[in-house]
Amino acid sequence: MNSLRRAALAAAVALGLVAPSASAQTFDDTAYFAAADKLQQSLDPLWNERRGHYEGGGGGVEPMINSLLLLGHSVAAMEGHTGPSRNDERARALALELVKGPYVTKPALGQAHAPGWTNSMTGKGFQHLVFDAEVVDGLVYAYRARQELQLPESTVAAIRDAISRTARGPFWRYPTIRLNQINWYGLMYAADATVTGDPALLKRDFGAQLNRFIRGARSNFGPGMRFHYLPHEHVNHPMNVDSAEYANIVLSFTRFYNQARQAGMAPLNSTQKRIVSEWIERAIAGYWTHGGYMNWDSGLGFQRWHQSKKLGLTQQALIGIASAPTLSDPKYQRYAKHMFDRSLDFYARTAERDGGIADALFFNVHAVPQGVGSARLGAARVLANAARAIDAGLGRARATEPPALYAYDPDIGRLAVTTPSYNTAIVAVNQRAFPYGGLDLARLFDGSQEVAGNIGGTPPASFGALVRDVSGRRVLASQVARSSVDRAKTPLVLTKAPSGAGARASSAVGSAYAGAFTDLRATGTVSGSAGSVRVTHRFTPRHIQTRWDITRRGNRALSADILFPSTGRGRQASVTAVLKDGSRVTVGSTRIALARVSRLEVKSQFSGYTVTPLSRPAGAGVHLMRPAAQSSAPEAGPTLAVQIARNERFSKVAFTARITPDRG
């Protein structure tokens, strides 16, 4: 496709006149440029002509935003693009500004080092390795596009000098490391090689960083290959429960692996390569969804959970996996591109609802508020990723929609499931990092990443069994997470799976219990003074079937409800009972006999799911509970409650249901 035709189509897409060529299938360069152009138009009002840079809106984001938009301008120039993301004049101004204002030769506050960059365009800010790395990434693209951008030789020399002096300083050289985040170091070494032509750091230091990371696998991962954010801390540190965002950020080292090999870095041996390959498979199956979003649990809790600025960082792992053919099974490269393309779709849909730029926090998670600068940084990162994908060749690469996938971590009882129809996870142990978790579904989205049931929540804004005494006080619930790992106890056991059915909390590190499935089964039990609940799940590509077996202990009369949550305020969420005679009844506080019910339709704001009873205990009925908003369920809607015991001294009661999410 010639550049004029491509530009015309991109403009039409941006204006909404036509659908992107890859909106439902594979993105090509035209679709990637359309995504970048649309975001560029939303960010254009931030340009300050007098200052010669984009204004971020506070929060220490301006150097990064400007570098990311410089990256977009540079790729557009290299590719001969003529849409909104092409702006050579601004690119020249930004390239010069980024090696002047935020660049310092004397240490500043924070992770003090010099030379390096701060988080302020004036240089009077804080330092952190991410500020260096993200600014350098944009400058490298400008350097590569120096001819197309007509950068003055003085700017080119300043870029070369600033990057080389920083990368070769002690703050960045091996053996220095920040936790286990080797990605930033790979980026800096690759940048130095690009602008100087000397591959020494990329060849030696990056190889040493990568080898040390792999040697430390038992500290960096748990059984099943879940990620430890603090490898030097105890396994039960809250931040070590897992971290979908930081695992993907570190995995973005794959963006630089090919360049390092070409520079002479020694290849990974067979054992090392197997560990990386296992981790990649675990990441695709356990951290990403068919809807293009993270299957997100974070040991950093609300300090990171659902922040839009983190999505752009994590997408870079997908770009790296898709473009590093020697590190994983080729099918996972194709899956990564598919998920990346869907992630751009997800962001575009969310941004449209939010007025052009997605809010700083997805799904209205506001326990830790974020400023407008975070939202703008999130948009700039997604824009830059569309440009990076073009440069990495993803527009010409093959994508494959993954089959139904799962990933299992036996020590924390985390079971992530994603299919073309839905995605969910069980997190039996939360290590007090976040409020939700237990033996039931922690969340439920449809295949388009719309909230079908909930995003988190605890009873009654959750799935699961809730047992109360006659005063209404909770005495037992299946959706209450354990607070720590016990290697002698496997909190959720896989009973049928392609791999992992024999895994235990004490299993060794190094294997991913992950991959494709058609029939996946798991079970676990929670016990207390009032009795016990065994929860048994069966996952298929289209639906989930769950059985709850409740055993009472003692002489107290108890009530038992099985909960099915919704998300949405006011009339955005509701529950309808479809009776056996075909009539439809809105479920409210008045009980409806379960014997009359054929199915129950739970409606959330943008999606929903159907609950089909597969057993009908005598005397059971359905009614609504109306939970208050929670930190991890900020827009909790009414919860469908199937009451299988009401103030009874039962011995055992059970209920089985099939959950079928809307197709999205």
Contacts of 630 (CB under 8 A, 6+ apart): 435, 456, 457, 458, 461, 636
Q: Strand runs (DSSP E) across 125-172, as ranges? A: 126-127
pLDDT of residue 663: 85
Assess contact for 187 and 206: CB atoms under 8 A: no
Kindly report the number of other CB atoms within 10 A of residue 603's CB atom: 21
Give the separation between CA 240 and CA 226, rounded to whole angstroms: 9
Helices (H) and strands (E) in the chain, counts: 17, 26
Q: How far apart are CA 610 and CA 566, in angstroms?
A: 11
Mean pLDDT of 376-399: 98
Give the helix/strand (H/E) hosting 160.
Answer: helix 153-167
Report the share of the chain in percent with pLDDT over 90.
95
For domain 405-508+515-661, give its CATH number from 3.30.70, 2.30.29, 2.70.98, 3.60.90. Answer: 2.70.98
pLDDT of residue 17: 32
Terminus-to-terminus CA distance in the chain, angstroms?
Answer: 33
Please state the separation of Cα 145 from the chain's center in Å: 31
What's the token pair of residue 421?
A: 């129809």
The pair of three-digit structure tokens given for residue 488, joined into one six-digit string: 């002698």
The total number of residues written for the chain in this structure? 664
Question: Is the pLDDT reported for residue 5 higher than 90?
Answer: no
Structure tokens at 325: 């053919």
Per-residue pLDDT tens for 570-593?
A: 999 999 999 999 999 999 999 999
Confidence label for 22 from pLDDT (cuts 50, 70 and 90): very low
Q: What is the pLDDT of residues 592-609, one digit of tens each?
A: 999 999 999 999 999 999
Residue type, 271: T
* Nearest to 342, CA basis, from 451, 450, 449, 453: 449
A 10 A CB-CB count for 268 gives: 20
Give domain limits for the chain. 3-396, 405-508+515-661
What's domain 3-396's architecture?
A: Alpha/alpha barrel (1.50)
Give the rounded percent of residues in the chain with a pLDDT score beyond 70.
Answer: 96
Supply the pLDDT for residue 13: 40
Residue with the larger pLDDT of the pair 325 and 75: 75
pLDDT given at position 1? 38
Sign (positive or negative) of CA dihedral 252, 258, 260, 261 = positive
> Which of 214, 235, 115 has the alpha carbon at shortest distance from 169?
115
CA 151 from centroid of its chain's CA atoms: 37
Q: Report the largest interatomic distance among the alpha carbons of the chain, rounded to a whole angstrom.
A: 85
H/E stretch holding 71: helix 62-78
pLDDT digits (tens, 9 = 90+) for 175-198: 999 999 999 999 999 999 999 999
The candidate with the shortest Cα–Cα distance to 205, out of 218, 220, 193, 223, is: 193
What gap in Å lies between CA 645 and CA 557, rounded to an integer? 9
Answer whether residue 25 shows pLDDT above 80. Answer: no
- How far is 378 from 356, CA to CA, in rounded Å? 12
According to DSSP, the β-strands at 53-54 and 47-48 are antiparallel
pLDDT of 410-458, one tens digit each?
Answer: 999 999 999 999 999 999 999 999 999 999 999 999 999 999 999 999 9
- Does residue 229 carry a pLDDT above 70? yes
Position 425: which residue type?
Answer: A
Task: Taking residues 520-527, report their average pLDDT.
Answer: 98
CA–CA gap between residue 297 and residue 288 (Å, rounded): 11
**pLDDT score recorded for residue 208:** 98
Residue 21's pLDDT is what? 35
Across all residues in the chain, what is the average pLDDT? Answer: 95
* Stretch (H or E) spanning 446: strand 443-446
Does the pLDDT of residue 11 top 50, yes or no? no
